[in-house]
A and B are shown apart, each in its own frame.
Chain A
Amino acid sequence: MSRVFPVVLIILTVVLVAFATISPGHLTSATSPDQAVRSLLERVKGRDFKQAFSYISAASNIDEGAFYRDVNGSEGSLRTYSSLQDVDTKVLKESDTEGTVRADLVWSSAVGAIYETRDLHVVKEDSGWKVLWPQEKQANLPPQVIPVNYLRWDIVHRGADEDWGAQNVEPPRVRIISMNAIERDGNVIILGEIENEDTVPGFVAVNATLLGKDGGDLGQESSFDKMSHTLLPKEVSPFRIDFPKMKLASVKSVRMQPNAMLVPASADPVIAVQHQRMETDARGHHVLKGELLNESGQTVNIPHVLATYYDTAGRVVWVSDAYSDRALLPQVPVPFAVDVRDDLAENVHNYRVTVNNYTLDRDR
């Protein structure tokens, strides 16, 4: 009896370990287009990319590595700092052999939620419904040396042993060249543009204080990611400052305070914004679309697109932004889309898109 008990324990342990090791290897085959898409995306959400790939149809002509790069990001892009948080699907079309499913995806990322809509085609195969995953063809730049000799500004500040009259290098002169206050959705929003008028780069922020009828402060806010903070000489950036839960009628005046600091900066990279056009997306909403082209030789990991919209009088009527979750490889165009408020779209006469860039290992 004393020998039987340990043997039973060992056998039981081996059985339990084996049971735990053997995962549900065989996937339940999808019985509908919606289930196929859901199963795939749920596995992406669980970061089980291998099993997610098993829901991809071989007709997609995409390898597992390319699928992984698509859903998990590459080149230090924003997608590499994101994870799929929420999935909502809707069958648009379905027949016995194929279907189309719209997937509304919410990614949680380092810069907040990113919303994406994909219309996925699904086909019925012997092993069940499989998703035709669209492969994004990205042009590969042939190996080459791209000479870059753009300017860089460095700063030498005054020394500690200078007499008190010795001047320091001064911050750049910046000027708010336009400003507009509007009320939207119960918020007061200050919009405008600021220019670095100087010949040196600067780190710029805009603060705004709302003053009430009695002259007292109603609130103070500053621009955050609705502007380009590093401005090169003569560069113009939009800014947007939101005051939540405020009424424009209670505001007597706005006190604006642009602040600038002299900072080291580089004139590289140059990012062209091509083929900007206003369109309506699959959901019927207005979007500003275009392509970003990194004209330098260094990868831009996280591009941040800022769009400024003007009315017929040239007044700034809205500022919106979007992060692209794809890195900008040199000389390779990458599409972008910025949501435009549908109620403003008709008033938009012109627009301007600028790009902030965040690059890892800049000094490499």
Chain B
Amino acid sequence: MSKLGYILLALATCLFASYVAHAGELNIPNQLSSGQGFSIPTSGTGTATFYLIGPAGVIKRAVHLGDAVNVAGEETRAAGRYVAVLRSGDSNDTKVFFVTPGKPAALNFLARPSRVPTAKPDAISGVAFVFDGYKNLMIESVPVNFSLAVEKSAPASRTVPAKDGIAWIQMASGRSQGAAQFVASLPATDVSVRRVVQQVAGDACNLHMKAQAMAKTIVVETDPIRDCSGNAVPDGTIVTFTETDSRGLSTVDARVKRGIARAELPLSENATISVAAGVVLGNEVHIRWASPGNGGAGAARANLKFKDGIATDGGRANAEGSATGGRE
């Protein structure tokens, strides 16, 4: 009989312990969405202190036992681990719960570089960070759409799933220069961020010049300078003209203006003129001015004639010679 009594007593003790343990945990869901408010029922009488310890701050509030403790959505903005504590006298009721990010609602978008030469593979990179409405980084996978478009050309578009809140992409620059609109957006929402990547002309291609004699100088002028995709190189680009004759070397670092570079070089009766833009070499023209009569320079200037021109880029030498044949 006494044995049965011990067993019943032990059972009663376990039940009490279980009740006590259950009574020490606050009634809060284990997982909430950011910005989601909740209410905690309390029992008993008197006052207590409620603490909510979260990743972005701590809340302390005096509560009346028996009334519900209301936690506003604003107080659970930050995603992460929270601890709620209800302290009454010497007893503490606690609950650990997690706040997860809400629906994707914002993007931060890094686009690099701000300027890029045309027709370069993988030259443009974009990194999008997906956040919910409270700027919590989205953990779950979310599709992000990237599109790159230059005016008057079809946009390049691709969708990339974000992993741990980050989606990134590398894209080739287009063949046309201009301000490319690089947009990252969240499908099925109106969330999008636009960056501008300036696509600029690359190195000059088929750099070509012609020469013409004036009264005191030789005027050299390039054809419209374009890159290999046909884009005009920007104004201000340096183009170097070099003239070599018996008196030495003469150089002018001319600036491209309205698509062409133009310079004046010293008049010479026999000279070789070359042109370059950066490390790109253009054609070379050898000029010799025939001087009828006594052949003096003074007499020649009155009757200049372009005799020959040899262009190294092939096929244009003779045409160049006759087309730019000085002035008479």
Contact = CB atoms under 8 A, between A and B. Distances in A.
A8 B235 CA distance: 82
Interface of B is mostly: strand
Given A170-B114, A199-B234, A235-B278, 13 more contacts: A150-B236, A167-B110, A169-B114, A199-B237, A233-B238, A234-B239, A235-B253, A267-B235, A272-B250, A273-B249, A275-B250, A290-B248, A352-B251
B167 interface: no
Contacts of B159: none
Interface string A150-175: 11010000000001111111100000
Interface string B86-113: 0000000000000000000000111111
Contacts of A236: 238, 278-279
Interface in B250-287: 250-255, 257, 263-266, 277-279
Interface string A267-294: 1001111111100000000000010000
Interface of A: 149-151, 153, 163-170, 177, 195, 197-201, 232-236, 267, 270-277, 290, 295, 351-354
Interface centre among A151, A164, A195, A272 (most CB of B within 10 A): A272
B201 interface: yes
B129 A200 contact: no
B200 interface: yes
Given A234-B278, A270-B255, A274-B250, A167 B111 contact: yes
A275 B193 contact: no
Contact of A168 (B114, B193, B278): B114
A272 B115 contact: no
B255 A170 contact: no
A288 B4 CA distance: 118
B108 A165 contact: yes
16 contacts: A150-B255, A165-B109, A165-B110, A198-B115, A198-B200, A199-B237, A233-B238, A234-B203, A234-B277, A274-B250, A274-B266, A275-B249, A275-B266, A351-B249, A353-B251, A354-B253
Interface in B111-153: 111-115, 129
B24 to A, nearest CB: 44
* Interface of A (DSSP majority class): loop
A16 to B, nearest CB: 63
A353 B110 CA distance: 42
Nearest to A153: B236
Contacts of A195: 278-279
Nearest to B243: A274
Contacts of B249: 273, 275-277, 290, 351, 353
Contacts of B195: 166-167
Interface string B190-206: 00010100001101100
Contacts of A271: 253
A235 B114 CA distance: 21
Nearest to A168: B114
B264 A170 contact: no
B114 A167 contact: yes
Interface in B199-242: 200-201, 203-204, 233-239
A166 B254 CA distance: 36
A168 B277 CA distance: 28
B3 interface: no
B61 interface: no
Contacts of B257: 149-151
Contacts of B109: 165
A275 B278 CA distance: 22
Contacts of B251: 272-273, 276, 352-353
Given A165-B108, A232-B237, A234-B238, A272 B255 contact: no
Contacts of B108: 163-165
Interface in B148-198: 193, 195
Nearest to A273: B251
A166 B266 CA distance: 50
B234 A233 contact: yes
Given A167-B110, A168-B114, A198-B115, A276 B236 contact: no
A201 B236 CA distance: 9
Contact of A270 (B193, B200, B254): B254
Contacts of B201: 199
Contacts of B235: 151, 267
A270 B236 CA distance: 11
Q: Which 5 A-B pairs have the closest CB atoms?
A: A277-B248, A234-B278, A165-B108, A151-B236, A276-B249
A59 to B, nearest CB: 31
Given A167-B112, A273-B251, A295 B264 contact: yes
A198 B113 CA distance: 12
A164 B251 CA distance: 46
A75 B203 CA distance: 39
A272 B279 contact: no
A135 to B, nearest CB: 24
A163 B203 CA distance: 34
Nearest to B177: A199
B200 A273 contact: no
Contacts of A151: 235-236, 255, 257
Contacts of B265: 272, 274
A359 to B, nearest CB: 16
Nearest to A290: B248
Contacts of A150: 236, 255, 257
